[in-house]
Amino acid sequence: MSVIDKARAWIAQDPDPDTKREIEMLIARDDRAGLEARFAGSLEFGTAGLRGVLGAGPTRMNRVTVMRTTSGLCAWLKRQVPNVATRGICIGRDARMQSDVFARDAIEVVLGAGIPVWTFANVVPTPVLAFSVLELSAGGGVMITASHNPPEYNGYKVYWENGAQIIPPNDEGIAREIELAPPANELPRMSMAEGRERGFLREVDHLVDAYVDLVASAVRQSDERCEVRVAYTALHGVAEGALRDVLSRAGFCEVQSVAEQAIPDSRFPTVAFPNPEEPGAMDRVLALGSEIDADLVIANDPDGDRLAVSVLHDGVFESLAGNDIGILLADDLLTRHAELDKPLVVSTVVSSPMLGLVAASHGARWEQTLTGHKWIQNRALELEREGYQYVFGYEEALGYAPLASIRDKDGISSALLIADLASRLKSRGETLIDALESLWQEHGVFQGMQLSRRFEDVDAQAQMTEVVADLRRKPPTEIGGHTVMSMIDLGRRVRWTSDGETPYERLAKSEVLIFELAGNHRAMVRPSGTEPKLKYYLYAYASSRRGLAPAREQVAALLERMAEDLSPGSSDR
């Protein structure tokens, strides 16, 4: 089919007058470039579902894409989860543009496929949806969200019956079923009104309170928490109510929010990029923290599954890196669960190796996975079947999962636990920074650096592929002045050393190269899944025997040398 034929076929099935009009205008102007951009392929359904820019055509997020994806999901669930027609699917949404429309379309297609739906009358944080899949013993779940992406994005996140996000082969099976799905206008649908009347659609807003109760019960009630003053922002997202309720029930009575960022707003008017990792995103909550003399500044991303933290230490707010938060939570949780026989903590290969030392000091198993909580949680579930007891999982991109009853990253429960730790430290005249430095004193200083190299032009993907291929063909012998002891190539699933290659099957196939250096240092390279960028993750280590200050200086200097050797001229550090 020509691009014009594809465009006309799309118009015929599209129920949305706005996206129909978008395509009709491109055809009328004979805008071939605009049409090719929308019809040259489709959004790839991967292990996180779908995410993309709103607009018309198969390369955009729109009603047709959501409806056909839902049809494919239902077809695959019927094959793999035979009792899904009685267990149902749980569907939630955030407050982004079109989230309400996409959720309604997904609900009506699921009902039309003969599967009951559990849903919410209002917006919910992503962790609430993940919790609800397990709480309801649902056959699967869908969350309409684009997490921390810019305002013009939306997404479709899929959960399996085990409460975790999908991994192969389920993502591949769903993708095949999507390809076989009929046009959107031919899909059977049942209206929400009919679904309610027939008892196939049930609203489960009471589960928000159940989630809050569960999370708040993770810590004991304490009057000491009123001594900790917290400044908070939801970044125009949907976590405000649940976060404040959790903190309140746990005894935190001094919590103040950034008022102009407390109400969900799909435009994100006060931030350039609604991701607490991005420069400037936390400016307003840090200003509020200074104004109210806060001990702790915390931020969630718009769907509430990530957590950023800054700490008042020696009169200045210091931001904790994602790995710092992860290490502090892991150590505290392992200490609190010292009675476990086979404790387990899990992190990704691009997160700090320091977790391994912390885990060993507690007699816990440390497991590493590919990037993403889908891998963390599915691997944890495998190991739990072998008798291990899950304590904590994290990835450096501000994602932490401290509760086994919520099989995904959760910025709300993580906020409670970090605030609880901060309150206990304050009662001793200490801060989270003091606790982190104590861990460095015990285990040595690990510090990380992330950088990225952006590629431009139409052959950006080819350029990225060639850089990785060149590293494969000619692995560096030194990085930052330290010998490369091995290179793990997950794309080929081999480990290279100076003695040759051997199979490496501990992790699934992925386009990631891991360089293990003498001296306990590490570097990783992987292409971004969403942008034409190569991402570099560098970790350096120094003993703290001669003091923390010289160790940190040593680590910082080494990271700079590693960055220059591995990717000279990279940006976005």
Angle at 159 between CA 153 and CA 165, to 5 degrees: 80
DSSP 46: B
Active-site residue, selected from the candidate residues 42, 71, 99, 147: 147
C-alpha to C-alpha distance for 108 and 111, rounded to whole angstroms: 5
Task: Write the DSSP string, 316-367.
Answer: EEEEPPHHHHHHHHHHHHHHHTTT-SSEEEEEETTS-THHHHHHHHTT-EEE
Cα–chain center distance at 42: 23
Contact at 8 Å (CB) between 253 and 225?
yes
Helix (H, G, I), strand (E, B) or coil at 119: strand
Cβ atoms < 10 Å from Cβ of 40 = 12
State the first-to-last Cα distance of the chain, in angstroms, to the nearest integer.
44
Beta-sheet pairing, 140-144 with 478-479: unpaired
What are the C-alpha distances in Å from 55 to residues 41, 180, 181, 206, 568? 14, 22, 20, 34, 37
What are the C-alpha distances in Å from 33 to residues 36, 37, 52, 313, 433? 5, 6, 19, 54, 53
C-alpha to C-alpha distance for 430 and 332, rounded to whole angstroms: 15
Cβ atoms < 10 Å from Cβ of 363 = 12
Residue 5: Cβ-neighbour burial (10 angstroms; 0-12, 13-18, 19+): exposed
DSSP 455: -
DSSP 223: G
As given in the structure block, the two tokens for residue 226 are 């009123």
User: 436: closest CA among 423, 416, 422, 420?
Assistant: 422
Helix (H, G, I), strand (E, B) or coil at 254: strand
C-alpha to C-alpha distance for 237 and 235, rounded to whole angstroms: 5
147 catalytically annotated: yes
Mind telling me the catalytic residues?
A: 147
